[in-house]
Amino acid sequence: MKRIPFFGLISPRSPMKGLIEHYMKIDECLEIIRDALECYVASSDVCREFEDLSQEIDDIEAHADKIKRNIRNHLPRRLFMPVDKTLFLNYTRSQDNILDSAQEALHWLGMRRMIVPKEFQKPTIEFLDQVGTTAKLLQPALQSTVRIVHGESLDREGCKEKFRKIRVQRDKVTRDKKALRSLIYNSDLTFKDIFQLILFIDCLSDMAKNCETCSDALRSMIAR
């Protein structure tokens, strides 16, 4: 059923705008998590900056949770929702999971101090960059979807192309994850180090996975 955008007439604020505000917290955390990883792998001893940056991620995640609750607590009645309410809530959960995975990744890395061997330092940072690229692709896809849902744009094909880029990038992350996990697992690291590093990689990979889930939900929002 095509929904009429009554929310713009009756409600002063579309809940879709709140999704963009929530996404910006993901954008903030990407730079921080990269700085934290670089600090961690480059330090031979305890990285004090890593602790501060981990706290920053916790603060950002807490702020994002407040935005999410505010969005959910002020949803217009179902008739005036720009998209299906269940679909909207599922998207909100998946976008929030991106931040949860980032937070968990740093928690695992900070669980105990380990020395990341040089041969894994660059590949791990490059893997994080690939995950970050996936997350950054979500922003234009979300903005295009909001414009279409609000009737401000008719460029459905352009929007779908943004979804395709996310899927292709997520596939690359999945391939790189498998390769990196194999390298780590077959190394001479101790079991604890292997377990800790692989869990860190998996949490980063979950960030990209949730980006693709978000993309699938956005595609459903603009489906005819």
| pTM of model > 0.85 | yes
- What gap in Å lies between CA 199 and CA 39, rounded to an integer? 19
Those residues whose C-beta lies under 8 Å from the C-beta of residue 24, and which sit 6 or more positions away, are: none
| Model pLDDT, residue 24 | 96
Model confidence at 220, in pLDDT bands (50, 70, 90)? very high
Check whether 206 has a pLDDT greater than 90: yes
Predicted pLDDT at 46: 62
Residue 1 has pLDDT above 80, yes or no: no
In whole angstroms, give the CA distance from residue 213 to residue 220: 11
C-alpha distance from residue 134 to each of 87, 95, 187, 191 (Å): 21, 13, 28, 30
- The whole-chain average pLDDT of the chain stands at 91
- pLDDT tens-digit profile of 9-61? 445 567 888 999 999 999 999 999 999 999 998 876 667 788 899 999 999 99
The amino acid present at 97, given as its one-letter code, is N
Q: Which of 7-21, 55-69, 168-182 has the lowest mean pLDDT?
A: 7-21
Helix (H, G, I), strand (E, B) or coil at 64: helix
Mean pLDDT of 145-157: 93
**Residues 43, 159 contacting (CB under 8 angstroms):** no
- In angstroms, rounded to a whole number, what is the distance separating the alpha carbons of residues 145 and 156? 8
